[in-house]
A and B are shown apart, each in its own frame.
Chain A
Amino acid sequence: MAAILLDPLAAIGRATLGACRAVGDVALFALEGVSHLVRPPFYGRLFWHAFVEVAWFSLPVVALTAVFTGMVLALQSYTGFARFNAQSAIASVVVISLVRELGPVLAALMVAGRIGASFAAEIGTMRVTDQIDALTTLSTNPMKYLVAPRLLAATLALPLLVLVADVLGVMGGWLIGTLKLGFVSAAYLKSTFDFLQTGDVISGLVKAAAFGFIIALMGTWCGYRSKGGAQGVGGATTAAVVASSILILALDYVLTEIFFAQ
């Protein structure tokens, strides 16, 4: 009887300990990865390869997401604001929402699905096929070779992607505003830029850099720690996307509190 009562407690205890271990391991992994960014040798080619992969090849998916988000935002704002004769606020709502929140978060979520999964799958496959051990035997530190360049690349690439997403998202809102909702183009753009402040853009870019780091960290960590063949790599890939998505949303709240809480 006691065993039946204690079993769920034991399971909760095990899960808690496992979670604490994982958090500690991720923190140490991140510290070691970052420490290799300032200690030679540096792998410039690998950084550039990862940067192009994150920034350039994620561009179409981020661009489409941003354009459609801007369009939907303009439409939804119109249906709501029209009830209060506040249609003139649509441009400012679109730009503030996009630059502060939706641009960084949606771009990061799309990149987490694309790049986080790709990092986890690639490094996970290397783990289960002994390629990471092979790196060690070839006098190459796997953290320096596999993790550090990806951390740096994603941290620098995400702000660029978010800048593009911001511009395209505003353009999507402007398209709907002028072509469908009857706004005058110049008035829409003036309203957009009047309400936008430098701090809004900077906060979005800082969020983007933090999200980029999280995506690369979870992708590389899940891949690096994967075990057990194809199933393990599949699990690592899923875990990387899920973990980075949740962390992006949680970190978004924290950063918003830091930047905008009164």
Chain B
Amino acid sequence: MSYGSDDRRMQAEPGTEGLNRSTMVNTPKIRMRGVRKAFGPKRVLDGVDLDVAAGQGVVILGGSGSGKSVTIKCILGLITPDEGIIEIDGVDVLKLPRREREALGDRIGMLFQNGALFDSLPVWENVCFKLLAQNRITRAKARDRAAEVLAQVGLAETVGDLSPAELSGGMQKRVALARAIAAQPDIIFFDEPTTGLDPIMGAVIDGLIVDCVKRLGATAVSITHDMASARRIGETAAMIHKGRIVWTGPAGNLGHSGNAMVDQFANGLREGPIQMELRR
């Protein structure tokens, strides 16, 4: 069943009318060039360059405070970078008018680190929030759609009537995943999808992410510092350090990439080029 996004995918994106099909094929789904962002005196992004091909699963790795979350918040439009280019399907989203930028959000799904479920709404309304907010579906149909998507993430239909506060951490993550995929986006972001979960539940969530992304044929960008999770959900990995992408390569090579920073990070070594800023 389609809820509008497939139809929209067939249409030309704003500003791409002049691009022919071969250009579209070669254009990265997401392209970042020289993206910089500072908060006061602290420079968080210092010239991020990143290409994500359509349908690819990319994992951005990095320590705490390295700029992972800010990177995806810049792509999502939650933070405006100080300079640089961010393109989605070849369109510079930073130059889009506000309305078109908001429309672009219809094709994007996001799973937040803590779920960010709306605690004033039952689970089923959380799952179909975007469809209901845009009047793309009636409330009766939204219930059915929520049950369908909850089943895809391994949750019973009865969960739909619960409040998010009544769910365990793992169930909240699954509901958040269901919400991210309910409107059938073609780009999905995952912010630390396994943080706070036990290893088994982490593996379950990773499996669900891989299945859902494959089913939708979506482009997935995840940020994590969980190496096991990175290997499971990513085809390509990118390492960010001090606000710059310092390495990209196959996620399977993590730990033996040949890049000293990546190998130190992936193997959790104390000694290496990455020095944690500790105050004594």
Show the binding face of A for B, using Cβ within 8 Å.
41, 122, 126, 129-131, 133-134, 136-141, 145
A80–chain B nearest beta-carbon distance, Å: 49
Q: Which residues of A contact B73 (CB under 8 A)?
A: 133
Given contacts A129-B116, A138-B129, A139-B130, 15 further A-B pairs with CB under 8 A are A41-B133, A41-B135, A122-B120, A126-B118, A129-B114, A130-B114, A130-B116, A131-B117, A131-B119, A133-B73, A134-B112, A136-B76, A137-B108, A138-B179, A141-B102
Among residues of A, the one whose C-beta sits closest to the C-beta of B107 is A139
In the bound complex, do residue A137 and residue B118 qualify as a contact, i.e. CB atoms below 8 Å apart? no
5 contacts between A and B (CB under 8 A): A131-B119, A137-B76, A137-B78, A138-B130, A139-B105
Q: Which of B73-111 contact A (CB under 8 A)?
A: 73, 76-78, 102-103, 105-106, 108-110
CA distance A15 to B69 in the complex (A): 32
- Interface flag for B195 (CB, 8 Å): no
In the bound complex, do residue A140 and residue B76 qualify as a contact, i.e. CB atoms below 8 Å apart? no
Interface size bracket, B side: 20 to 34
CA distance A122 to B120 in the complex (A): 9
A138–chain B nearest beta-carbon distance, Å: 4
A10–chain B nearest beta-carbon distance, Å: 18
Among residues of A, the one whose C-beta sits closest to the C-beta of B106 is A139
Show the binding face of B for A, using Cβ within 8 Å.
73, 76-78, 102-103, 105-106, 108-110, 112-114, 116-120, 129-130, 133-135, 179
Q: Which residues of B contact A137 (CB under 8 A)?
A: 76, 78, 105, 108-110
In the bound complex, do residue B129 and residue A140 qualify as a contact, i.e. CB atoms below 8 Å apart? yes
CA distance A74 to B135 in the complex (A): 55
A125–chain B nearest beta-carbon distance, Å: 8
CA distance A131 to B120 in the complex (A): 11
- Provided the pairs A130-B112, A134-B110 are in contact, do residues A139 and B78 lie with their beta carbons within 8 angstroms? no
Q: Which residues of B contact A130 (CB under 8 A)?
A: 112-114, 116
Name the contact of A140 in the complex, choosing from B78, B119, B133 (C-beta under 8 A). Answer: B133
Leading 5 A-B pairs by shortest Cβ distance: A130-B116, A134-B116, A137-B110, A138-B130, A139-B105
Name the contact of B133 in the complex, choosing from A122, A131, A133, A139 (C-beta under 8 A). Answer: A139
Name the contact of A139 in the complex, choosing from B102, B116, B179 (C-beta under 8 A). Answer: B102
A14–chain B nearest beta-carbon distance, Å: 14
In the bound complex, do residue B129 and residue A131 qualify as a contact, i.e. CB atoms below 8 Å apart? no
Q: Which residues of A contact B133 (CB under 8 A)?
A: 41, 138-140, 145
A50–chain B nearest beta-carbon distance, Å: 11
Among residues of A, the one whose C-beta sits closest to the C-beta of B77 is A136
Q: Which residues of A contact B113 (CB under 8 A)?
A: 130
A140–chain B nearest beta-carbon distance, Å: 5
CA distance A129 to B164 in the complex (A): 13
- Provided the pairs A137-B78, A139-B134, A140-B133 are in contact, do residues A131 and B105 lie with their beta carbons within 8 angstroms? no
B273–chain A nearest beta-carbon distance, Å: 32
Among residues of A, the one whose C-beta sits closest to the C-beta of B79 is A133
Q: Which residues of B contact A145 (CB under 8 A)?
A: 133
CA distance A122 to B119 in the complex (A): 10
A54–chain B nearest beta-carbon distance, Å: 16
In the bound complex, do residue B118 and residue A131 qualify as a contact, i.e. CB atoms below 8 Å apart? yes
B264–chain A nearest beta-carbon distance, Å: 30
B247–chain A nearest beta-carbon distance, Å: 28
CA distance A41 to B102 in the complex (A): 14
Q: Which residues of A contact B134 (CB under 8 A)?
A: 139
Q: Which residues of B contact A140 (CB under 8 A)?
A: 129-130, 133
CA distance A131 to B116 in the complex (A): 5
Q: Which residues of B contact A138 (CB under 8 A)?
A: 105, 129-130, 133, 179
A112–chain B nearest beta-carbon distance, Å: 22
Q: Which residues of B contact A133 (CB under 8 A)?
A: 73, 76, 78, 112, 116
Among residues of B, the one whose C-beta sits closest to the C-beta of A43 is B133
CA distance A218 to B76 in the complex (A): 28
Q: Which of B105, B116, B120 has the most CB of A within 10 A?
A: B116
CA distance A28 to B129 in the complex (A): 28
CA distance A261 to B106 in the complex (A): 54
CA distance A41 to B135 in the complex (A): 9
Q: Which residues of B contact A136 (CB under 8 A)?
A: 76-78, 105
Q: Which residues of A contact B118 (CB under 8 A)?
A: 126, 131, 134
B204–chain A nearest beta-carbon distance, Å: 22
B175–chain A nearest beta-carbon distance, Å: 12
Q: Which residues of A contact B110 (CB under 8 A)?
A: 134, 137
